[in-house]
């Protein structure tokens, strides 16, 4: 377990850790954070479906993302069940400023490979940051049950980001992937620095 903790502490070189205040704010807005978490899982599933549809000719991608759709949708149902158990409501889906900022960095022109690379690295980064946030919740929440709840999510999702990078390296040169990943990490740090610390968002 210690190895997992050390591993997730430095997830693929994320350059800015989550502000410690975020966990305290999230704990005070449990209905909102669970709602946002549920939609994050839903969007992860639907994005994988979109990638499968868009790149159906890439057999490895289809094979690897198909079970991930099922897993992410299962996570959505788990969070939804937790809301219901606590007599809380699934609120409306909110604008995800973090993800929208990442999408702005995707290459809009270039080759099909360039666009595929950025789609996969966007997903890798979202998964890495989500895992880091789940780790924060699993260590910082006062509620012991919820600490365990988010530790299970952290453990379940710890390998998702590497899957997307591995897929990128399946179809593109590893040096190109790593160079672009370094650019994404630097950009994500700027995004995180510019976002308000809010307890009603996973990102």
Give the up-direction half-sphere exposure of residue 82: CA atoms within 13 A in the CB hemisphere. Answer: 20
Sign of the dihedral through C-alpha 177, 183, 189, 190: negative
pLDDT of residue 1: 35
Q: Per-residue pLDDT tens for 23-36? A: 999 999 999 999 99
Q: Which residues contact 41 (CB under 8 A, 6 or more apart)?
A: 72, 73, 75, 76, 79
The answer, yes or no, to whether residue 76 has pLDDT greater than 60, is yes
Q: Which domains does the chain have, with CATH numbers?
A: 21-93+112-193 (1.20.1260.10)
d(CA 68, CA 50): 12
pLDDT of residue 12: 58
> What's the residue count for the chain?
203
Q: Is the pTM of this model over 0.85?
A: yes
Give the up-direction half-sphere exposure of residue 40: CA atoms within 13 A in the CB hemisphere. Answer: 26
Region 179-200: mean pLDDT is 95
Q: Per-residue pLDDT tens for 101-121? A: 999 999 988 899 999 999 999
Q: Per-residue pLDDT tens for 131-185? A: 999 999 999 999 999 999 999 999 888 889 889 999 999 999 999 999 999 999 9
Give the up-direction half-sphere exposure of residue 78: CA atoms within 13 A in the CB hemisphere. Answer: 15
pLDDT of residue 7: 46
């Amino acid at each position: 377990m210690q190895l997992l903790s050390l591993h997730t502490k430095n997830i693929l070189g994320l350059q800015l850790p989550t502000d410690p205040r975020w966990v305290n704010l999230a704990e005070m807005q449990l209905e909102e954070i669970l709602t946002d978490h549920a939609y994050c899982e839903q969007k992860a599933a639907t994005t994988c479906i979109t990638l499968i549809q868009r790149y159906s000719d890439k057999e490895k991608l289809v094979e690897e993302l198909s079970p991930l759709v099922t897993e992410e949708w299962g996570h959505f149902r788990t969070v939804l069940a937790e809301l219901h158990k606590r007599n809380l409501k699934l609120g409306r889906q909110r604008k995800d400023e973090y993800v929208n900022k990442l999408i702005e960095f995707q290459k809009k022109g270039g080759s099909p490979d360039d666009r595929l690379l950025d789609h996969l690295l966007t997903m890798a980064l979202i998964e890495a940051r989500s895992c880091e946030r789940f780790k924060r919740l699993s260590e910082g929440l006062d509620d012991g049950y919820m600490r365990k709840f988010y530790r299970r999510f952290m453990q379940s999702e710890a390998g998702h980001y590497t899957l997307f990078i591995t897929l990128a390296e399946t179809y593109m040169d590893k040096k190109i992937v790593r160079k672009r990943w370094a650019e994404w990490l630097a950009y994500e740090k700027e995004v995180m620095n510019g976002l308000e610390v809010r307890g009603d968002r996973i990102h």
